[in-house]
Amino acid sequence: MLLRPIMDGMVGMQPPLPADITVEQTSLGGVPTERLSAPGSKTGAAFLYIHGGGWVAGSPATHRPLTWRLTKQIGIPVYAIDYRLAPEHPYPAGLDDCVAAYRALLDQGIPASAIIVGGDSAGGNLTLALALRLKAEGLTLPAALVCLSPATDLTASGNSITANAKADAMFIPAMMETTGPRYFPGGDASDPFLSPLFGDVTGFPPTLFQVGATEMLLDDSTRMADKMKTAGVAATLDVWPKVWHVWQLTADRLPEGEQAIVKIAAFVKSHLPQ
């Protein structure tokens, strides 16, 4: 549980938000939510953002260096949800919150064709699991998905888990082994709602993957993208050299972070109603 105070401490080290970014504390379907917008944001569309943090840490506040840039560059509000975290609230609490938030956007009159869902790491996992849940519940899927270094296979069967173990700048194998018992104690790691790699992705919307070439989670993106392409989904795989896990969060200091966000914005805008 050291990850939670570490990530919470990141908030105090962030540069101030630009003066033209508005942050409102609200809720979606009973889920606490931070709504970020920039001047001229189109209110008839939404980016539902699901933060990472190993399902045990993180918050909308920890991810503001990314979410404020998304709202400014895309021109739509970003709704960053504060879903329930494990171990206090194990699976499926966090996923249930994602479903509730998505339903709430629909209830506000925002059509699915104008909703983007995205997230990083554990939030990328929840992004894909949410799409599977929406399919299962007969709801219309969003216009597109954005997955930043997502965890898609909690069975850890990907080759990069070991092949990149020494090259990964953030994780070590022992860290990977601690998440499961906290997030889904006693559960089956091959359950598609836990490991979307094993789900039926037929009919998924266009999806962008961004991942670092030296990450232990590299294969979680490459195999998921391949599975989607095989199923006829328009999946875009964007592999970056010499960057660490979710480098987009360091766009204040890392040029590659800003460059990646520019590519995310272009992808999202290409899939929103004009």
Domain ranges (residues) in the chain: 3-270
**Residue 51 bears catalytic tag:** no
The CA–CA distances, whole Å, from 261 to 35, 106, 185, 248 equal 18, 26, 35, 7
Of 37, 41, 121, 149, which is the active-site residue? 121
> Is-contact 93 84, C-beta < 8 A?
yes
Catalytic residue (choose from 51, 63, 245, 271): 245
Q: What is the pLDDT of residue 5?
A: 73
CA distances from 228 to 6, 102, 222 (A): 34, 22, 10
Name the superfamily (CATH) of residues 3-270.
Alpha/Beta hydrolase fold, catalytic domain (3.40.50.1820)
Q: Which two tokens stand for residue 242?
A: 């010499």
- Choose the catalytic residue: 34, 41, 149, 215: 215
Q: What is the pLDDT of residues 69-128, one digit of tens each?
A: 999 999 999 999 999 999 999 999 999 999 999 999 999 999 999 999 999 999 999 999
Active-site annotation holds for 215: yes
pLDDT at site 175: 67
245 catalytically annotated: yes
Burial class (CB in 10 A: 0-12, 13-18, 19+), 216: buried
The length of the chain, given as a count of residues: 274
Q: What is the pLDDT of residues 165-198, one digit of tens each?
A: 776 766 667 666 778 889 999 999 999 999 999 9
- How many C-beta neighbours within 10 Å does residue 16 have? 6
Run of H or E including 236: strand 235-240
Most confidently predicted of 5-9, 132-136, 210-214 = 132-136
pLDDT in tens, 33-80: 999 999 999 999 999 999 999 999 999 999 999 999 999 999 999 999
pLDDT(273) > 80: yes
pLDDT value of residue 162: 80
**214, 164 in Cβ contact below 8 A?**
yes
